[in-house]
Amino acid sequence: MHQGANSEPAPIERRLRKVNPETRETETIEEAAIAKFHGPIVILGDPGQGKSTLTQKLGCQGDNRYVRAGTFVRSKTPAKYLPPVGGRLVIDGLDEVPSAKVGGGVDAVLAQLSAISNPPFILSSREADWTGASARVR
């Protein structure tokens, strides 16, 4: 099928690997399945894998609210980003928050989430930054 010069390319539906945090078992899921999960969601990947594109898309769905991690961390009133009941706070780019230590952006975002009573959320980060921060917590 030929696309005209003015037509938009069809969006690419992503497949993601879901890891059970308790058993470490993995399964492949379609992007649309993300909305069906309850509890915190963390999207990890290397640079260029489309984390920002995916989180922007998720942030536009339903009552979700999208915010860049740097903006969220610097906010003196992070509660203004709270989504309505039934929505999630979608925070993109934890790894892009300036910090002197690996994973420092993760810590800063988690502190802001705690300050607003940990609403339902979706986070995105480079895997190395998330792994470094979670290792420090352990």
d(CA 7, CA 18) in angstroms, rounded, equals 33
- The residues with which 92 forms a beta bridge, in sequence order, are 68
Q: For 32, which DSSP code?
A: G
Tens-place pLDDT, residues 20-71: 878 889 888 888 888 888 889 999 988 888 899 999 999 999 999 999 999 9
Of 131, 38, 123, 136, residue with least CA distance to 72:
123
Q: What is the mean pLDDT of residues 2-19?
A: 70
pTM of the full structure: 0.81
> What number is the average pLDDT over the span 71-100?
90
Q: Tell me the H-state helices in the chain.
A: 51-59, 69-74, 104-115, 127-137
The reported pLDDT for the residue numbered 58 is 93
Q: Is the pLDDT of residue 10 over 80?
A: no
129 or 122, higher pLDDT:
122
What's residue 68's pLDDT? 96
